[in-house]
Chain A
Amino acid sequence: MLTRRIIPCLDIHNRKVTKGVKFQNNIELGDPVEMAARYYEDGCDELVFYDITASAERRPIDIDMVREVAHAVRIPFAVGGGIAGLPDMERVLLAGAEKISVNSLAVKNPQIINEGSRAFGAQCIVLGMDPLAVPDDPRFPSGYEITVRGFREHTGMDAIEWARKAVDLGVGEIVVNSVDADGTRAGFSIPLTRLIADAVPVPVVASGGAGNSQHLVDVFEQAHADAAIIAGMIHTGDYTVSGIKQELVQAGIPIRQHW
């Protein structure tokens, strides 16, 4: 049986892992390569790195860091932020990343999904989306609007419409990061995650709001997520990856148990 993936997310700022609430009040947590190695040893199934400031400051991605991570872990990892086009995608993949996550870039230029998917395969191209709840707004039938650039800009795009369009363009996976739940550690947005997971034929990764193991059980059982991103709950040391996995196994969720 295919297991549900647990994916630590490392937000990088000036080559340090940081954590903030809704992209603000960032505090430094440690070295990304060391933290990646630690989570790998503790049984995480995949990793994702976002260069959270690359997009805002229009800096290119830190390719040396990607290379060091690739030497340190033997599991797939995704890199997002600061990807400007196909040449950047190729550099990141050749440095050893398995996947590239595009978010603002894809909103601005949806064809980049198609180009990346044709050049490197759909399994490499992940769409990150940051939907914001906008209930009762007739412009957004799903009830969610896509935001970009660290939630700072509204796009006028409906979340389900964008997810389906991205799949048609060739995206291989979608990370659904709830703006409303991000950084709260109060649980994933179950309605949002389920809405997207049930609307698309590609795997969906739930993101934003993980605060305890029960939140992960809920998002797998109720929202049909294929994978879930965790960040603050492990970065602070309140939980460990192996501890979370043990609780998920006890709750009957299929989880990778040999590492």
Chain B
Amino acid sequence: MIAIIDYKAGNLTSVKLAFEALGANTSITSDPDVIRRAERVVFPGVGAAAAAMQNLIELGLIPIIKQTILNQIPFLGICLGTQIILDHSEEDGGVHTLGLIPGNVIRFQPQNPRDKVPHMGWNRIQKTQDHPLLANIPDQSEFYFVHSYYPTPHSRGNSFAETSYAGATFSAALGHNNIFATQFHPEKSGRIGLQLLENFLQWNPQGSS
């Protein structure tokens, strides 16, 4: 079973439908016991970082997320879920986040007024390292993005693909051990996005690195 963590940060229907299209058994849940029993964990989210952290605290989910990471359970972050995996976000005047991968989240500062924020739509990724979750995905493939802030991991070793927008080149896919996390939405990115989710279903992080 795949646990899709529900921490009141946005609509999870399309995440669930995308995994169902691949034949996976999913549960949208905020129950620590269900998450503890899951074979794989998805940590999605849209919205604001401060409210999301507050919800995680109130729901008592932070210890179980950290335990999932320690237990080498395959863990997929998406969008806001990816941002709060890092140490700190500039959003809402500054928020300390989960610190599972070293790095910060900062806002787009477009110099050209034609570069609108949020960054919304299909943009290309350039692979910077191989990763099992990027298998069978051509370089320069387009994925669907919706975000105003972007992740900046401290180590290039944690970045697997980059995207450019509004004068910034940022990490669109991050990873560390059993964590893989995308700023884009694979669940809304057509067949290429499904390929990434299928790769996640097949992923055995202990065996691959």
Residues of A within 8 A of B (CB): 1-5, 40, 45, 70-71, 74-76, 93-96, 98, 120-124, 172-173, 201-203, 224, 226-227, 256-259
Task: Knowing A75-B190, A227-B121, A259-B190 are in contact, say whether A203-B116 is a contact too (CB < 8 A).
Answer: yes
Which of B13, B113, B117 is A93 in contact with, Cβ under 8 Å?
B13
Tell whether, in the assembled complex, residue B13 and residue A74 are in contact, meaning their CB atoms are under 8 Å apart.
no
Interface residues of B: mostly helix, strand, loop or mixed?
mixed
When distances are taken between beta carbons in the complex, the residues of chain A under 8 Å from B144 are 75-76
Q: Which 4 residue pairs are nearest across A and B when measured between Cβ atoms?
A: A256-B142, A256-B122, A258-B141, A96-B13
Tell whether, in the assembled complex, residue A94 and residue B13 are in contact, meaning their CB atoms are under 8 Å apart.
yes
A258 closest partner in B (C-beta): B141
Among B14-22, B30-38, B200-208, the stretch that binds chain A is B14-22
Which of A4, A120, A123, A227 is B146 in contact with, Cβ under 8 Å?
A123
Total B residues in contact with A, Cβ cutoff 8 Å? 37
Tell whether, in the assembled complex, residue A45 and residue B121 are in contact, meaning their CB atoms are under 8 Å apart.
yes
Which of B116, B119, B192 is A259 in contact with, Cβ under 8 Å?
B192
When distances are taken between beta carbons in the complex, the residues of chain B under 8 Å from A40 are 190
When distances are taken between beta carbons in the complex, the residues of chain A under 8 Å from B192 are 258-259
Tell whether, in the assembled complex, residue B142 and residue A201 are in contact, meaning their CB atoms are under 8 Å apart.
no
Residues of B within 8 A of A (CB): 10-11, 13-14, 17-18, 21, 46-47, 113-114, 116-124, 138, 140-142, 144-146, 164-165, 187-194
Tell whether, in the assembled complex, residue B165 and residue A121 are in contact, meaning their CB atoms are under 8 Å apart.
no
When distances are taken between beta carbons in the complex, the residues of chain B under 8 Å from A74 are 14, 17-18, 21, 187-191, 193-194
Give the CA-CA distance A76 to B145 in the complex, in Å.
Answer: 10
**Subset of 18 A-B contacts with CB under 8 Å:** A1-B165, A2-B122, A2-B165, A45-B121, A45-B122, A74-B14, A74-B189, A74-B190, A75-B189, A76-B188, A93-B13, A120-B10, A120-B11, A121-B46, A172-B120, A226-B121, A259-B191, A259-B192
Q: How far is the CB of A174 from chain B (nearest CB, A)?
A: 11
Tell whether, in the assembled complex, residue B188 and residue A173 are in contact, meaning their CB atoms are under 8 Å apart.
no
When distances are taken between beta carbons in the complex, the residues of chain B under 8 Å from A5 are 121-122
Tell whether, in the assembled complex, residue A96 and residue B114 are in contact, meaning their CB atoms are under 8 Å apart.
no
